[in-house]
Amino acid sequence: MRVGLVCPYNWDVPGGVQYHVRDLAETLRGMGHEVDVLTPAEQEESLPPGATWAGRAIPIPYNGSMASWQFGVLSAARTRRWLREGHFDVVHVHEPAPPSVALLVCMIADGPIVATFHAASVRSKVLAAWGPVVRPWLERIAGRIAVSDFARRLQVEHVGGDAVVIPNGVQVAAFAEGPRLPAAEHDGPTVGFLGRYDEPRKGLPVLLEAMRSVVRELPGARLLVAGRGDPDELRALVGPDLEPAVVLLGELDEADKAAFLRTVDVYCAPNLMGESFGVVLVEAMAAGAPVVAADLDAFARVLADGDAGVLVRRGDATALARVLVDLLGDPDRRAQLTAAGHDRAQDFDWGTLAARIVDVYETVAPPGGGEVTAHGADEDPLPAEPTAPTRMDGFLPRWLRRS
């Protein structure tokens, strides 16, 4: 099967959706499928073989994080060309509701479209206002996937339609085996945090406050922080009293991230909101790190309601400190969590999940069903006036109308 994957976010900026698309593409190729990825990126040269540059995307606040805005004549022309030259049996877009290249594909493509919805929030004012506007184009999606029940609920409420839940995946073997990270080695107990630490929803200030109590109880304890952000802002947040107990490792590549997770004694995810899944929890479990996480619905599902990790009330630094002190001082309990986490991680291995996604592809694009095409003029990015307008075509610029 020939598959076109669409990532709406800049490929060379680390993020969960980008990793999802990358790993799915690699797994599908390993299964014998032909895959091409359409994605924006800051630099075209950063794209791997099998990826097509959609231009640069502009970051915008969305769901407590940063999404990408990419919407215009040039993007539409690139999208149309990619669709025509790809001869895809199915196109699989990710996070299609925001104004991005994924939404452009839904507007331009004719043929089987599958979409994966990643975002989750208790209430999204953006989607509440934007959802009715884009719904006519999202109705053209033939197969819908959500990475969690929470993400499914959000898209059903604001976008309409239903979705099958297929979670994010992890290459379990890549995290389970390999060296430790020398920079993270420490004689005393270590707690790891990985993520964009300048995003409030990641909850790092809660963990820092908890660590003040941890180091009083366990003077040799250290917090290892890896990820993107302004180091000066982080140092100001840490403060002089906690600075000796905090090690800033910076952004890690994939190999070092796995080594980092294999090195820490406990991995902590103190996130406060906006998480639809929690792939880093699965990565930590696959690497053998006992997990302590905030009791977000998405995290509870990943951790089997606390059977595969410890859940702590979100935002409660006192409770978090108590759990960390107890766990760091109890190697037998950590070993139990490591074993349970390893078993749980197998449920999220990409080999299993990709087969379920292919089942969705085959449902919407049966053999001999024809390939995905693009409407509009063959060369000119400004197609002629439509002959059969959709409900929203009157509001569209001419370059996006159906011809």
Do residues 157 and 179 share a domain?
A: no
CA 171, 66, 54, 226 torsion: positive or negative?
Answer: negative
Q: Please provide the DSSP assignment of 24-72 as one string.
A: HHHHHHHTT-EEEEEE--S-GGGPPTTEEE----EEEEETTEEEEE--S
Do residues 340 and 372 share a domain?
A: no
Quote the number of domains for the chain: 2
- Whether the full predicted model's pTM is greater than 0.75, yes or no, is yes
- Give the side-chain half-sphere CA count within 13 A for 108: 33
Do residues 240 and 326 share a domain?
A: yes
Do residues 120 and 215 share a domain?
A: no
Q: What is the pLDDT along the chain (403 residues), one digit of tens a residue?
A: 999 999 999 999 888 899 999 999 999 999 999 999 999 998 999 999 999 999 888 766 655 555 556 666 788 899 999 999 999 999 999 999 888 899 999 999 999 999 999 876 545 555 555 556 677 888 899 999 999 888 888 777 767 778 999 999 999 999 999 999 999 999 999 999 999 888 889 999 999 999 999 999 999 999 999 998 888 888 888 999 999 999 999 999 999 999 999 999 999 999 998 787 889 999 999 999 999 999 998 899 999 999 999 999 999 999 999 999 999 999 999 999 999 999 999 999 999 999 999 999 999 997 777 789 887 645 444 333 333 334 344 445 554 544 3
Range of the domain at 361: 2-169+350-400
Do residues 112 and 185 share a domain?
A: no
Q: What's at 348, amino acid-wise? A: F
**Domain with 196 in it: what CATH number?**
3.40.50.2000
Do residues 102 and 178 share a domain?
A: no
Look-up of token digits 């950063």: 46
Q: What angle do CA 280, 3, 40 make, to 5 degrees?
A: 60
Q: 237-245: list long-range contacts, CB under 8 Å, 24+ apart.
A: 237/204, 237/205, 237/208, 238/208, 241/212, 242/208, 242/211, 242/212, 242/215, 245/211, 245/215, 245/221
Do residues 28 and 53 share a domain?
A: yes
Do residues 153 and 178 share a domain?
A: no
- Give the side-chain half-sphere CA count within 13 A for 200: 3
Do residues 58 and 155 share a domain?
A: yes
Q: What angle do CA 153, 157, 163 make, to 5 degrees?
A: 50
Beta bridge partners of 39: 53
- Tokens linked to 203: 């909850």
Beta bridge partners of 60: 67
